Amino acid sequence: MNSTKKIAILLYRYFPYGGLQKDFLEVAKELKSREIQFKVFTRKWEGAVPEGFPIKEVGERGLTNFSKNKNFVKDSSIALEEYDPDLVFGFNKMPGLDLYFAADTCFKKEVLNKNPLMKFTRRFKQSIEYEKEVFKSSSSTEIFLLNNKQAEDFKSVYQIDPHQITIIPPGIDLNWSNHEQIEIHNAFKIPSEDKVALFVGSDFSRKGLDRAISSVHFLNANNVPFSLLVIGKDNFGSYSELVDKLGLNNKIKFLGPRDDVASIMKSSDLLLHPAREEAAGNVIIESLVSHLPVATCRDVGFAEEVKANKGGIVLDEDFDQDKFDNLVLGICGNKELKKIKQGMLGLERQEYFFSRFKFIADKVEERINA
């Protein structure tokens, strides 16, 4: 397609390895491959810019994150007047969107469940204001949601027009299955008797790294030797202290961000993803197509995919460390992990797991051609 119509794509900040940022990048690449004109508006872009990507960094004004976001909405609206797009596509909640990709959870539900006093803060008031602009019944924004759990969470708080919502399929790199296994014990100096657990995520607290470390401690304490590889960008400090306290210094390795996650997944024995809050969790889908058993909990949107594809265990109630640890222990003995792996063979050939970006680009084409 070669259209004269233009799309503005908005996101607060781009940086490599973020889940929202990966989704944005793949959607934009798919649009570019179809010769659909777009321009990206963001506060700040970190990392390499793909060839041919028109980027407008409007800058960061403000001391706090919420003030930077508020100023971005103002500054980008001025920049949009000059660009004059036919469609505005946002990857963060903000006013004035025609399309919104809901990469995160329902803010109102999550915050009020955590701490009711948050509703008196400026951050809460601004975030709720922006969320309402997208999800209120009078909104004209078309919303792309990641799964049924996320849809139910938003519906429990907002009166959403059902025609406003589209649940999209998962989407991971089409080349994911082309990556080869590695000699993981040699590569990371892991004892030969240990199985290898994996934690992937760049927000350690939200993704539940402390919970994953506790599970590895529990496994080793029950004579099931495991090492844990931690992949992601965050501050290791307090987690290193936990590792030291539990006597796991020779069992936990912090690897930072990596470009070879697919190969590491294909060479590991278990993904630990006991997140406190996760709208979807692409790492779950990546694990399923890598035949890597998953241990997660109901707070993760794609936990439903683990159950549907018999890809591991899901703690299907309020999180309890002891219950989670025992579920993990239950699949790590008696060759259960091997059985789960064998049951996952063939998932890498299911187009559904790779179709998100084509699906969204189809929807964008429908809108701009309407």
Q: 18 and 97, same structural domain?
A: yes
3-state secondary structure of 278: strand
Q: 127 and 61, same structural domain?
A: yes
Q: Is residue 63 situated within a structural domain? A: yes
3-state secondary structure of 286: helix
Calpha distance 314→306 (Å, rounded)? 7
Q: 251 and 110, same structural domain?
A: no
Q: 299 and 224, same structural domain?
A: yes
- CATH of residue 223's domain is 3.40.50.2000
Q: Is residue 224 situated within a structural domain? A: yes
Q: 364 and 321, same structural domain?
A: no
Q: Is residue 55 situated within a structural domain? A: yes
Angle at 319 between CA 344 and CA 306, to 5 degrees: 15
Q: 192 and 235, same structural domain?
A: yes
3-state secondary structure of 9: strand
Q: 126 and 43, same structural domain?
A: yes
Q: Give yes or no for a contact between 91 and 98, defined as CB atoms under 8 angstroms apart.
A: no
Q: Give yes or no for a contact between 232 and 256, defined as CB atoms under 8 angstroms apart.
A: yes
Domain that holds residue 184: 176-350
List the alpha helices (DSSP H) in the chain: 19-33, 65-83, 107-114, 122-135, 148-155, 184-187, 204-207, 209-221, 237-245, 261-266, 282-289, 303-308, 321-331, 336-343, 356-369
- The number of distinct structural domains making up the chain is 2
Calpha distance 96→8 (Å, rounded)? 11
Q: Is residue 51 situated within a structural domain? A: yes
Q: 154 and 274, same structural domain?
A: no
Q: Is residue 255 situated within a structural domain? A: yes
Q: 161 and 17, same structural domain?
A: yes
Write down the pLDDT at residue 177.
87
3-state secondary structure of 58: coil
Q: Give yes or no for a contact between 169 and 356, defined as CB atoms under 8 angstroms apart.
A: yes
Q: Is residue 1 situated within a structural domain? A: no
Q: Is residue 66 situated within a structural domain? A: yes
Q: Is residue 289 situated within a structural domain? A: yes
Q: 364 and 323, same structural domain?
A: no
Q: Give yes or no for a contact between 271 and 287, defined as CB atoms under 8 angstroms apart.
A: yes
Calpha distance 255→232 (Å, rounded)? 7
Tokens, residue 325? 């640890």
Q: Print burial letters for 58-95: b (CB count within 10 Å at least 16), e (below 16).
A: bebeeeeebebbbbbbebbbeebeebebebbbbbbbbe
Write down the pLDDT at residue 3.
65
Q: 287 and 245, same structural domain?
A: yes
pLDDT along the chain (370 residues), means of 10: 83 91 95 96 96 94 90 95 97 97 90 72 87 91 95 93 93 90 97 97 94 98 97 92 95 95 97 95 96 97 96 97 98 91 96 96 93
Q: 276 and 187, same structural domain?
A: yes
